[in-house]
Structure 1
């Protein structure tokens, strides 16, 4: 950044932010980065000669998303260089963001009223082992977002999954032919540039049904013109010939149907079925202690006015902040050094980070309320009977809160003048409770139709 407050476009922080914007499918120019082809070539030269050193712990997620976009790699020399320089972070090279789950079944009878009973005597979920050697390796092992642990641990509990590393069958896909079904979560985050050729390659080599759980589109709003690219359509079309596809919400379902993907069932997210009890009701307690948890989206791009108000509101009250991703809060997101220093000092003192659900649940116990934009960050609070208000920021969160009738407001509706008691009162779970059994039984029926339970 320059002394005038404008983006210099050549420091590591500016580069990290603008390539994160590119990775999300947006134009850096729209966010205050006046880029030209000459500037991109300058970046390439600086990277190659070591003039700019990139901390990979902050770039891993960006490189992973750049690897999805072949068109960008063909037209942008830096995107191509980063993907080829760091292949271990690119999904097309075999390191997947949300590891595939492989489930083995036989013909054992099950009880119809319990989805935790499996058809087979053994159910295995292949995913990376948690690696806590360094923070970078820890994030890599959970798919660069700790919220994935809430999602995957729910599946483990619901289906009694045993966990094993994917590399046991990575070199020989033919082993899948002896498996009754493959449960995959690779499609929970789809943007218009997502590349799933690696998944189609696995699918095309075997006859085994691949059952995707919670397919979800990623858009800033519920865009009715969202386009699925050829790579995504190819794998979804192949999957729907063998299994019913589990979709997160009405929005994703409507877009899939427009593209001819019709063998679907709207199931929401398995993290809300962790109870394994169709009669579950969330009982909201009295707001006494007022110990509050907060959470926020990944720190990339410029913050909106309401987002600044929300962060200031939380910092003023010294709330505990639960982080889920590795990208740091940068001054380039706000272009205001005073605001940046205030929020950053609060984050340094009050941020908590959990890489497994057991420590996460232990760490949040004793709190009275959670509010923020992280879906799984709020859901895990429900596991500990902590009421949560969801501040929706994008299509994925909104369609999930709509589907489950979870209490929510749009982030732009946040009013910094309201007391925390006001937001606590908005966390009304009466509609969630009224519809929960219906959602739960629908999810169980989805599992039954895919032979994952009877």
Structure 2
């Protein structure tokens, strides 16, 4: 349960595919990663299973989590399901969503509070996205937590993650841009977030960069060739939200030419490997680049993206500090040495976290030389 652990059926319609990603294609990385990391003989997904059969046929309830701690998300249905079972639980990637990293007293629905209590009781430690989420849980009286970040970070199953930067004489940069123009209102700096989204779009249009979408409609329908007059009007509304002067016809033409959306992790990874740089406000849109060895810069716009970027030491500049987007300058000034060193440490911590929860895994062992260099 939680983030999807497999791609939607290739022959499903767009809406079905989108729904099965949890309404954001970035969720695919979370679920795929945890499924890949755990050493399992068989698995089932979802809460629509008979509790008695779950108790008889399975050993663990694993939950690849996202920003579950949010005032608009009530996970009482998940708590109901787990309460009917007797199995231990593993939750990884739990995040709190707020407008500020200093606000701990969140208006969390009762069902979600009940879920968190059950998970805390049935696991030795909960894997959280960062220090902010750990503080929110401590405020709720839950202290058995480990700072793991997102499970997608460890999806390669390797103790080293090296990022390759191209030489300056290799021609024009091949860039993938991603954005979040539909979630500006819950940014910690909405006006700056709108400016960043506009700059990202204008840059992608001007330089003909790929523009990767994750949950934006009607843009996704336009990219997939399902454009209608109504959708063009809705796209115009998206432009107005970010203060763009780009006309709806030009926006539609750009999306049809350079827009991308992926319902397959392998296809997404294959695409991003052809890029030299990934930049934008989407965490997982940039994470898949890093996992593929491609340089990426995250522009955090909310607590979800910021606390993970901070913990994992992923190169990042917040929306209120980045200013006008200069791709070449940002690429040249971004170093991944600290990220790679920190990855080695987090990887070891993640193995210890899984061991603490008595969960068998497929992560490759860390050599003694790497252990020394990471400490």
Same-fold status (TM-score > 0.5)? yes
Secondary structure at the aligned position of 1:386 is classed as coil
1:216·1:247 contact (CA, 8 Å) conserved in 2?
yes
Find the counterpart in structure 2 of residue 146 from structure 1.
25
Where do residues 172-183 of structure 1 align in structure 2 (5 Å cutoff)? 172-178=50-56, 179-183=58-62
Conserved in 1, the CA contact under 8 Å of 2:179 and 2:200? no
Tell me which residue corresponds to 2:224.
none
Aligned to 1:388: 296
1:241 to partner: Cα distance:
1.0
Compute the displacement of 1:296 (Å).
Answer: 0.5
Q: Secondary structure at the match of 1:345?
A: helix
Higher RCO, Cα 8 Å, sep 6+: 2
Q: Which residue of 2 aligns with 1:130?
A: 9
1:277 aligned onto 2:158:
yes
Q: Which residue of 2 aligns with 1:42?
A: none
Q: TM-score, normalised by structure 2?
A: 0.80
The whole-number CA distance in structure 2 between the counterparts of 1:131 and 1:200 is: 31
Q: Which residue of 2 aligns with 1:254?
A: 135
Tell me what 1:311 maps to: 201
1:436 to 329, 343, 346: 343
Q: Distance in 2 between matches of 1:163 and 1:310?
A: 43
Sort the Cα spacing of 1:129 and 1:314 in 2 relative to 1 into closer, same or farther, 3 A: closer
- Does residue 412 of the first structure (1) align with residue 320 of the second (2)? yes
The answer for the alignment partner of 2:352 in structure 1 is 445
Query: 1:145-181 CA deviation, whole Å, 9 max, x = no partner?
Result: 11122222222322245676537x8341112223321
Distance 1:245 1:325 in 2: 28
Q: Which residue of 2 aligns with 1:237?
A: 117
Is 1:425 matched with 2:304? no
Query: Number of residues paired by the alignment?
Result: 331
1:377 aligns with 2:291: no
Give me the whole-angstrom Cα distance separating, in 1, the residues matched to 2:161 and 2:198: 36
**Distance in structure 2 (CA, Å) of the matches to 1:373 and 1:162:** 37
C-alpha distance in structure 1 between counterparts of 2:332 and 2:321, whole Å: 15
Are residues 213 and 160 of structure 1, via their aligned partners in 2, closer, same or farther at CA, if it must alter by over 3 Å?
A: same
Q: CA deviation at 1:294?
A: 0.5
Aligned to 1:64: none
2:225 aligned residue: none
Cα–Cα, structure 1 residues 147 and 402, in superposed 2: closer, same or farther, change >3 Å?
same
2:365 corresponding residue in structure 1? none
Contact 1:191 1:219 in 2 (8 A): yes
Q: After the TM superposition, list the runs of 4 or more consecutive aligned residues in structure 1 that deviate by more than 4 angstroms.
A: 160-165, 300-303
- In structure 2, what is the Cα distance between the partners aligned to 1:291 and 1:385? 14
- Deviations, residues 326-373 of structure 1 (Å, cap 9, x unaligned): 423532344368424344432232101111111112222321111011
Structure 1 unaligned runs (5+)?
1-95, 100-124
Deviation at 1:258, TM superposition (A): 0.7
With over 3 angstroms needed to count, the CA separation of the structure-2 counterparts of 1:436 and 1:316, relative to structure 1, is same
SS at match of 1:308: helix
Distance 1:237 1:390, change over 3 A: same
Structure number with bigger Rg: 1
CA distance in 2, matches of 1:344, 1:442: 45
Counterpart Cα distance in 1 of 2:194 and 2:216: 20
1:67 matched residue in structure 2: none
For 1:328, the equivalent position in structure 2 comes to 218
Aligned position for 1:192: 71
TM-score (structure 1 length as normaliser): 0.67
RMSD: 2.5
Could you tell me how far apart the structure 2 residues matched to 1:445 and 1:213 are? Answer: 13
